[in-house]
A and B are shown apart, each in its own frame.
Chain A
Amino acid sequence: MAKEDVLLLDFWVSPFCSRVKIALAEKGVAYQQRGEDIFGGKSELLLKSNPIYQKVPVLLHDGKPMCESTNIVHYIDETWPSPPLLPASAYDRARARFWADFIDKKLFDAGGNIWKTKGEDQAAAKKELIQILKYLEGGLGDKDYFGGDSFGFVDIIAIPLTTWFFAYEKFGNFNVEEECPKFAAWTKRCLGRESVAKTLPDPQQVLEFVSMMRKMHGIE
């Protein structure tokens, strides 16, 4: 597969872009990457490829654009089948899609509510995040990964969001490992994987980014 066939429109701190990068790395797919200036001015290609949301990530395969990270990871799994990211059985795939949807709808927003607010609102947001992580611990059970023995779809959907936890912990004054040790153990396990370790930004840099966002939002 020539490198020019696959292009990712990217933003370094976006956990949603990281999902796509990890999935492509797991599949051994060579691709080009173009960083978008989210604050300075989005590129023509981005605006044309994703007119509805005007957001990254966008994956262009042979010039055909795809948007929304979970959707893109699905596409990557179906286009380059080996190694498989989704489990084999229809029921296990349904469980994986259920957890991916739960993570998409709940996790990032709950975290955002922690660094965007203070006082009672922040306390409520922290409680919500912990509850979400406890649900995910339930989904993980005693398994190494959400799909079982192998790193897969749900792990890819969830792990990039954990790079923002250091920032949530700092501004929310709590510790994920103390509250949800199983989730923390799963995080460490995933971070030991090459595709994950090489892709994810340093949580310290994410913290600096979130600090900048707080100033921009006038929260101090």
Chain B
Amino acid sequence: MPTNDVKLLGAPASQYVNRVQFALNLKSIDYEFIPQNMREKSELLLKSNPVHKNIPVLLHGDKPICDSLVIVQYIDEFWFDGPSILPSDPYDRAIARFWAAYIDDKWIPFFKELTTAKDEESKTALVEKILEGLKLFEDVFVKASKGKCFFGGETIGFLDIVLGCYLGWLKAWGIQLDVNFLDESKTPALVGWAERFSSDKAIHGIIPETEELFRILQIILARAADAASK
């Protein structure tokens, strides 16, 4: 596949963009990464995603595809002769989609709330909710993996990508809050999964180093504090 046929508008530290990169790598698709400055959005981004004006956007030829979960499913369906990302059984797909939506609509937003949490009490409450979510994912993993390495079974699948993209940020937040989010004594299966996922050749090198994410987190927190004081 020629590089100029597939373009990805994104930012390297965006977990949603990383999802698309994982999927493209799993299917061995070459692509051109076009970094976006989200504080000064490009014409191309605004034209390709006029509704949300957000990243990631996949440009396949002249066709834009938006929203990370939509893009990952598109990649799976268009390049159907590569390894499958969504499970093959419709019920397993329904379960995968349910948890993907939960991760995006409920769990990741807890971290967004943390950026503006004002006191220790609300921070502690949010950390509790995040940890409860991880316990849920532990159970989901045990059921979905059926004793194999990934949520997708023998190979990396949809839920691996959807949750795995956040592993870097989870570590950065852990340093920030002095919390060990992935604790072997509480969620042993997830700990093992996280190591296997992160070291897989399709995944390795995509998520920025924790130091870099921590540095970006400081900027995000400073901006949030600034906005709150106005």
Contact = CB atoms under 8 A, between A and B. Distances in A.
Contacts of B98: 66-68, 71
Given A66-B94, A71-B98, A91-B63, 17 more contacts: A61-B91, A64-B91, A68-B101, A72-B94, A74-B93, A74-B94, A74-B97, A75-B90, A78-B90, A78-B93, A90-B74, A90-B77, A90-B78, A91-B78, A93-B74, A94-B65, A101-B67
Nearest to B96: A71
Contacts of B69: 97, 101
A67 B73 CA distance: 19
Nearest to A59: B94
Most interface-central of A61, A71, A74, A90 (chain B CB within 10 A): A90
A200 to B, nearest CB: 24
23 contacts: A52-B102, A61-B91, A64-B91, A66-B91, A66-B94, A71-B97, A74-B94, A75-B90, A78-B90, A78-B93, A91-B60, A91-B65, A91-B74, A93-B74, A93-B77, A94-B65, A97-B69, A97-B73, A98-B67, A98-B70, A101-B67, A101-B69, A135-B51
A61 B90 CA distance: 11
Nearest to A64: B91
A67 B60 CA distance: 32
A102 B51 contact: yes
A79 interface: yes
Nearest to B100: A71
Interface of A: 52, 61, 64, 66-68, 71-72, 74-75, 78-79, 90-91, 93-94, 97-98, 101-102, 135
* Closest 9 pairs between A and B when the two form their complex, measured CB to CB: A90-B78, A78-B90, A90-B77, A94-B74, A75-B94, A97-B70, A94-B65, A66-B94, A79-B90
B130 to A, nearest CB: 15
A75 B93 contact: yes
Contacts of A101: 67, 69-70
Measured as residues with beta carbon below 8 angstroms from the partner, the interface class of chain B is 20 to 34
B90 A94 contact: no
B42 to A, nearest CB: 20
A94 B57 CA distance: 12
A68 B101 CA distance: 9
B105 to A, nearest CB: 8
Interface of B: 51, 60, 63, 65-67, 69-71, 73-74, 77-78, 90-91, 93-95, 97-98, 101-102, 136
A91 B66 CA distance: 11
Interface residues of chain B: helix, strand, loop or mixed (majority): helix
Nearest to B60: A91
Contacts of A78: 90, 93
A94 B94 contact: no
A76 to B, nearest CB: 9
A89 to B, nearest CB: 9
